[in-house]
Structure 1
């Protein structure tokens, strides 16, 4: 999914993407429009504001967000 870094705290989770992630940018825009607790934080980060005390719940949130972006595009061999 082109993730560079994940910071997951009790109330805010940030997912930073590497430049040129392997999914369409429109997917992030749709995700932000559909979910009021998800915001753009600069060009390459998503900020998810949700109170989750348990680490397993935070991990599930990250998995769900990444899955909602769709399957990553696989580079075609030259």
Structure 2
């Protein structure tokens, strides 16, 4: 049994890098590269797991993809989700 002050606490973070890619089939223009930071925290308490997961922590604005000059799509904004799980 863990008895330290931080027993049951955990987390992680990571960086997603997407390099430059062609925005049309003729390779006439390109979508610039971007990097996003994601992270999570979790805490086990008795039989319950609490977690918070976040993507794009810096809320970076970026173009995710294009399928032509007139069809470019913005990437997802910051997203934070909290969950709680109970084990029976």
TM over 0.5: no
- Whichever structure has more strand as a proportion of its residues is 2
- Whichever structure has more helix as a proportion of its residues is 1
Q: TM-score, normalised by structure 1?
A: 0.28
Q: Larger Rg: 1 or 2?
A: 2
